[in-house]
Amino acid sequence: MIKLITFFISLIIFSTFIFSHVIAKDDKQVVLVNPIRGSDFWSHNYPLTETPKKEYEIIKKNNFPATWLVRYDGLTNSDVQQFVKSLDSSQDSGLFFEITPSLTNAAGVKYNDTGNWHFAKSVLLTGYSPDDRKKMIDVAFSKFKEVTGKDPQILTPKKDEEFSDQQPLLKGTSSPNETVTITIHSQENIQTQVKADSHGVWAYRPTSLLSSGQHTISIVSKGSSGVLKTVTQSFTVYAQGSQVTQTATPSATPTGIITPTISATPTPTLAAPTPTPTAILIPSPIPSPVAPPATSKGGVQELPSPGNSIIPVGFMALGTTFVGIVLFLLTRGGSSL
């Protein structure tokens, strides 16, 4: 009896699990990751950046965000460097940590030559001592920051730009996640710091009103080479409510002579009365419900997703249980005979 009860409970749990996963709809995300390798162990007769450029064309055409992972020997290649710097702000870049002779030589570490570069002892950090790992990590990240870093720039304001807002939004770029020191030279003499985001974009709006007149903004941040750089830009702020004085264009004076027009008096004409139409009510057919059209996403047609009600799952589980009971009783009946 205990075995029978255990069997039925297991059958119910199994049926509910299977059917609920069949009809459930999960939201999933796909991340596009593109590795870029350098010249180490490169045996193809086409350029290193040929494939990444074609992939980038497809990604841009479909407005996909993507991540580009660059190996150390790629970071030392000028063509790869140029390609990585050409990626727009919707793309992310990262470090592809495969160990190759270029990295070990730069870090002063002996390369584990196993005869196959893709063997774990050669290509993974786990094949090297902890001290050698630290050396290679420091060298790789330093090179990655040098290549992907950006020199600081002031995008807003442009040179001698004028603002009617006394708290203008100031924006610019720098190396990703770098600290930017901002100084506004004016009567207020504001100095503050902001941090650029992962794409190297920073923004700042003064917390108090700037005085009207000419101002100068200076920013200091690390450039792509890791050296502090200073950029300065001038701009003008007008007091709120002030207007620019301009010479108005004189209004034109209308001239002309009004000439009266003589119109003839119309003669009334007798006309037969217009019959009044009688409205006939015709019942309109009640439209049959139409299933919502299938939607299309990424060129693939999708049918409307069914609801995630647990009621169908329950009925299906009970039905499976009932069939199991009948089969079990028939089996026992047959064996008793």
Has residue 325 got a pLDDT over 80?
Answer: no
Looking at the predicted structure, is the pLDDT value of residue 193 above 90?
yes
What is the domain-level CATH number for residue 189? 2.60.40.1220
Q: Could you tell me if 58 and 141 lie in one domain?
A: yes
Do 224 and 161 lie in a common domain? yes
- Lowest average pLDDT, out of 98-107, 194-203, 219-228, 323-332, goes to 323-332
Residues 119, 43, single domain; the answer is yes
Domain count, the chain: 2
Residues 103, 90: Cα–Cα separation, whole Å: 29
Q: Are residues 50 and 81 in the same domain?
A: yes
For the CA atoms of 173, 175, 176, 178, what is the dihedral angle to 10 degrees?
A: -100
Q: Could you tell me if residue 216 is inside a domain? A: yes
CB atoms within 10 A of CB 209: 13
Confidence band for 20, pLDDT divided at 50, 70 and 90: low
Q: Which of 121, 148, 175 is the last residue of a domain?
A: 148
Asked if residue 84 is part of any domain, the answer here is yes
Domain final residue, candidates 177, 202, 237? 237
Instruction: Please determine, for residue 269, whether its predicted confidence score (pLDDT) is greater than 60.
Output: no
Task: Judge if 61 and 142 occupy the same domain.
Answer: yes
Q: Does residue 57 lie in a domain region?
A: yes
Instruction: Quick: pLDDT tens for 274-291.
Output: 554 444 444 445 444 444
Helices 2-23/310-336 angle, 10° precision: 150
Q: What is the per-residue pLDDT for 8?
A: 54
Q: How far apart are CA 38 and CA 140, in angstroms?
A: 13
Mean pLDDT of the chain: 78
Q: Is the pLDDT of residue 199 over 80?
A: no
Q: Predicted confidence band at 311 (pLDDT cuts at 50, 70, 90)?
A: low
Residues 167 and 68 in one domain: no
In a domain, 17, yes or no: no
In a domain, residue 37? The reply is yes
Copy the structure tokens of residue 104. 């070990």
144 and 171 co-located in one domain: no
Whether residues 36 and 140 share a domain: the answer is yes
**Judgement on whether residues 115 and 140 belong to the same structural domain of the protein:** yes
Residue 222: per-residue pLDDT: 87
Q: What is the mean pLDDT of residues 250-268?
A: 47
Q: Both 208 and 184 in a single domain?
A: yes
CA distances from 47 to 36, 37, 61, 103 (A): 12, 11, 22, 21
User: Residues 113-170: pLDDT tens digits?
Assistant: 999 999 999 999 999 999 999 999 999 998 998 888 778 999 999 999 999 999 999 9
CB 132 within 8 A of CB 103: no
| pLDDT score at 15 | 60
Q: Is residue 4 part of a domain?
A: no
Cβ(68)–Cβ(36) below 8 Å: yes
Model confidence band, residue 271 (pLDDT cutoffs 50, 70, 90): very low
Give residue 131's domain range: 32-148
- Give the pLDDT band (50/70/90) at residue 332: low
Q: Is residue 268 part of a domain?
A: no
Give yes or no for residue 14 having a pLDDT over 70. Answer: no
Regarding whether 126 and 36 lie in a shared domain, the answer is yes
Same-domain pairing of 102 and 198: no
Show which of 217, 237, 257 is a domain's final residue: 237
In this structure, what token pair is assigned to residue 185?
Answer: 């030279």
Backbone angles phi, psi at 75, to 5 degrees: -65, -25
What SS3 string covers the chain? CHHHHHHHHHHHHHHHHHHHHHHCCCCCCCCEEEEECCCCCCCCCCCCCHHHHHHHHHHHHCCCCEEEEEEHHHHCCHHHHHHHHHCCCCEEEEEECCCCHHHHHHHCCCCCCCCCCCCHHHHCHHHCCHHHHHHHHHHHHHHHHHHHCCCCEEEECCCCEEECCCCCCEEEECCCCCEEEEEEECCCCEEEEEECCCCCEEEECCCCCCCCEEEEEEEEEECCCCCEEEEEEEEEECCCCCCCCCCCCCCCCCCCCCCCCCCCCCCCCCCCCCCCCCCCCCCCCCCCCCCCCCEEECCEEECCCCCCCHHHHHHHHHHHHHHHHHHHHHHHHHHHC
Between 206 and 31, name the one with better pLDDT: 206
Q: Looking at the domain assignment, is residue 7 inside a domain?
A: no
